Amino acid sequence: MPDATYAVEMRDITKRFPGVLANDHVNFGAQAGEVHALLGENGAGKSTLMNVLCGLYRPEAGAILIDGQPVHFHSPRDAIQSGVGMVHQHFMLVQSQSVAENVFLGVRNASFSLRSQQMAAAVQKIGDQYGLPVDPNAKIWQLSVGEQQRVEIIKILYRGARILVLDEPTAVLTPQESEMLFQTLRAMKNDGKTIIFISHKLEEVISIADNVTVLRAGKVAATTPAKGMTKAQLASLMVGRQVFFQFDKAPAKLGEVRLALAGVEAQDDKFLPALRGVSLEVRSGEIVGIAGVAGNGQRELAETVTGLRKLTAGKITVAGRDVTGSPPLVMIDAGIAYVPEDRHHTGTAPNLSVAENLALKAYRKPPIGHGALIAPDAMQTSAVDLIRAFDISTPGPQTPARKLSGGNLQKVILAREISAEPQVLIAASPTRGLDIGATESVRKLLLAQRDEGAAILLISEDLDEIFAISDRIVVMYEGSIMGEFPTAEAEIGQVGLLMAGGEHGAHASAV
Amino acid sequence: MDLSFFVVLLAAGIRYGTGTLFATIGEIFAERAGVLNVGIEGMMLMGAVTAYGAAYYTGNPWLGLLVALIVGGVMALLHAFVTITLRADQVVSGLALTLLGAGLSAVIGAPLVEVRDAPQLPAFPIPGLAQIPILGPIFFDHNVIVYIGLLAAPIAWWYIYRTRPGMELRAIGEYPAAADVLGIAVIRQRYLYVIFGGMLAGLGGAALSLAITPLWVEGMTAGQGWIALGLVIFASWNPLRAALGAYLFGAIGRLPLDLQNLPLFLANPQLGYFARMLPYLFVILLMIISARGNMRRRIGAPAALGQPYVREERGA
């Protein structure tokens, strides 16, 4: 069915990766002046499809049409020349270079010798036109995540893109920054551009998109106007079954203080201050959520509390015991469990078996460890028990951990950490990258731990998650605590404002 | 020690540092593109021996220079193929290149060791400027190859920081994926800069055998290739600072010769050995410092240095 009104059309796209059929005869079309959302769980094939559109991947079969004309993209350059530009989820920016340099990178008709003033002026002009304020001479590493995203958008607009693909653009933004982005998207839409918006946040899709294409397991589940769709309808299209958004959460039964930080300070990898006088308490039976935009000291906080990073000032107490400056082994001994952000490398040893990964903490003590020796039978038995108890889907205890899906890998980590019966559980972005089903079960596990009396510190960039399961919300910005609310009384707007540095910070980043 | 001592020392530093300087600038280009090549020593040795041989057999030292450029480039091409296309470990491949260069140059150069009269590159005091007191002898009374080195550093700096291809070069060493999505041919450019770096290393070797030393002996670079590797870090991948470092090392390397006539050194000849150790000690120190990940980020090492680039793996 040829439709000349499509600005971009993809027909019967099939893309295969070793062992995975990422796109299976996918059809997709979007018109000029349209915001088209591409919705799907992780691994549904959204990013693959868009990487095909941008010339990064070559499909095994299928055709791409721009304004009704067939095109063949062999590289991103071809796509750019046809007017297709993509804002990747992981920004494609060179940290050590300036905004203007990043915008002009790879532009062929630029002069051989760089003219920095002209470059800056060009960046400024596009920024003014679409409401994308950013200092052209700033270095990328000096910018906030929201500002970096603006640079990415300016970059593709400068290249004359008419079709813009944004891969989960709001995943890293505060609610206010997201609102600014949406205004920019509307401005571009009114300018006749086509915007393809990859997301798994349902409210957003309903509010900003004209049409939605839902992908499930590499196939198109539906293409529909966004207007009139409900969250529940979209979610069931995404996962292929009914989804419930509410958790039955019993009121917190607060016990004694398990984790106490007093005036903790620490440095980041570049020896710059990352934590500035952080004081906080987590009690038995509660989940405290740390909200903040990525890179505001959350990682350093987790590493400091677990003994992986040295603190430069302050005091840490675990269950009444002063563990300030202790190495990880002492922290573990004091009752700290840790679910790290990077589950593939920090959380597990990818080439060791599931059983070995499950025993990575328990191996020091009987029944598994006997002095320098390991009892393989005991390890196997305990692994079988944990695999059953935590519903880990694996071919067997001896399967290498790297072969597990993200959700099952996370369950391995949780099983290991929880079975150690910790006093305090530190969970950093525990559901990032997981599909809806796995996210649900991880959150339920955390809630169950809380109900059994563990003190849980949840560090997450996903505000929905913080609001869904934490009892108290603590907002971090540039290594400081900006505010603290009981979740029941917290407002998302207020939290978002504090995530951007409060009144003053929000103002500064909006100018 | 009077003023003339320092004039002589600085002039000698610029002279003796020239070979290292070419190699250092070459390595800066390769590393800026994201490829570490620790085979500089091997490429310099091969450049030195082939340049000397070509000059001797053809009677034309400029032809020797050209041969050294080609030989250095070909050796670097080997490294590029192994590390960029086959994605082998860059350090291992570079070490192999050093061993290959050291061995091969000894074999090729065996008949040349006795040769003392191969044509050299000409010395050329710049008329007028060379007569200026102090500055004249330091900067303007040298072999032509030394002037080329003096010009190469600012040109390389300008290219890296002030031109469009230079900006692309910095990008592919920092974040090749970002350059790739903007249509910059990462693999091709890496090949080109690694080869260019090898050519400059060959040139550095030729500068030694055709002008600075000038003769061929086995292992004549005496670790200058390794010093260049350390200088790249000392220079924070900046050619102008590389020139400063190379000339400083030239002077330090030259110092033992000047010191050995001092009464203190005449009385204690073993001190001379320590003086000759200095440049190498300094390089070892630099390598230790730069081996720390934190420090590397701090001093501005290209973020993707040492990592092969694969497109399909990104985001997976």
| A chain contacts of residue B297, beta-carbon cutoff 8 Å | 269-270
Place of tokens 């540039």: A478
Cβ(A461)–Cβ(A293) below 8 Å: yes
B173: left (phi over 0), alpha (psi -120 to 50) or beta: alpha
> DSSP string covering A349-391, please?
-TTSBHHHHHTTTGGGSTTTEETTEE-HHHHHHHHHHHHHHTT
Count H helices, E strands: chain A? 17, 22
Alpha helices in B117-269 (DSSP H): 135-139, 144-162, 164-174, 176-181, 186-207, 224-234, 239-259, 263-267
Q: How far apart are the first and last CA of chain A?
A: 47
Q: How far apart are CA B98 and CA B95, in angstroms?
A: 5
Radius of gyration of chain A (CA): 24
Q: Domain limits at B189?
A: 8-254
Q: Please tell me the distance from the alpha carbon of residue A480 to that of residue B219, in angstroms, as a whole number.
A: 58
At residue B279, does pLDDT exceed 70?
Answer: yes
Three-state DSSP string of A245-266 = CCCCCCCCCCCCEEEEEEEEEE
- Is B299 a member of any domain? no
Residues of B in contact with A97 (CB under 8 A): 167, 170-171, 174
Q: What pLDDT is recorded for position A202?
A: 82
Tell me the C-alpha distance between A484 and A290, whole Å: 9
Residue B80 neighbours by CB under 8 Å, 6+ apart: B35, B190, B191, B194, B195
Q: Looking at beta carbons, which residues of chain A come within 8 Å of B177? A: 92
Longest CA pairwise span in chain B (Å): 68
Q: Where along chain A do its domains lie?
A: 6-239, 246-335+422-511, 344-421
Give the pLDDT of residue B290: 64
Residue A35 phi/psi, 5-degree rounding, is -100, 115
d(CA B85, CA B82): 6
Is B71 within the bounds of a domain?
yes
Low-confidence ranges of chain A (pLDDT < 70): 1-4, 242-248, 503-511
> Which helix (H) or strand (E) element contains residue A162?
none
Note if the bond before A367 is cis, omega within 30 degrees.
yes
Write down the pLDDT at residue A41.
79
Instruction: Tell whether B271 is covered by a domain.
Output: no
**What pLDDT is attached to residue A102?**
93
Smallest CA–CA separation between A288 and chain B, in Å?
A: 31
pLDDT at A176: 86
Please spell the DSSP secondary structure of A279-294, one letter per residue: EEEEETT-EEEEE--T
Lowest-pLDDT range of A212-221, A264-273, B231-240, B305-314: B305-314
In angstroms, the CA B187 to CA B42 distance is 24
Is residue B166 assigned to a domain? yes
Domain annotation covers residue B139 = yes
Question: DSSP state, B122?
Answer: P
Could you tell me the pLDDT band of residue B125, with boundaries at 50, 70 and 90? very high
The pLDDT score that the predictor gives to residue A144 is 84
Is B182's CB within 8 Å of A106's CB? yes
**What is the second-level CATH architecture of the domain A246-335+422-511?**
3-Layer(aba) Sandwich (3.40)
Instruction: With respect to residue B229, please indicate whether it lies within any of the assigned structural domains.
Output: yes
Residue B32 lies in a domain: yes
Structure confidence at residue B121 (pLDDT)? 93
Q: C-alpha distances in angstroms, A280 versus A301, A305, A495, B243? A: 11, 11, 17, 52
With 0-12 / 13-18 / 19 or more C-beta atoms within 10 angstroms meaning exposed / middle / buried, residue A486 is exposed
For A6-239, CATH gives 3.40.50.300
Structure tokens at A51: 């990487």
* Cβ within 8 Å, pair A105-B297: no
From B76's Cα to the closest Cα of chain A, the distance in A is: 26
pLDDT tens-place string over residues A139-192: 998 888 889 999 999 999 998 899 999 988 887 788 888 889 999 999 999 999
Identify the CATH number of the domain in which residue B235 sits.
1.10.3470
Task: Please tell me whether residue B53 adopts helix, strand or coil conformation.
Answer: helix
Number of domains in chain B: 1
The predicted structure's pLDDT at residue B14:
95
- Facing residue for B183 by CB, picked from A88, A106, A270: A106
- Does a structural domain hold residue B289? no
What one-letter code names the amino acid at B114? E
Question: CB of B231 within 8 A of CB of B242?
Answer: yes
| Cβ-defined contact of A96 to B184 (cutoff 8 Å) | no
pLDDT confidence of residue B295: 61
Smallest CA-to-CA distance from A305 within A343, A274, A351, A270 is with A274
Q: Which residues of B touch A88 (CB under 8 A)?
A: 181, 315
CB contact under 8 A, A76 and B182: yes
Instruction: Check if B276 contacts A (Cβ < 8 Å).
Output: no
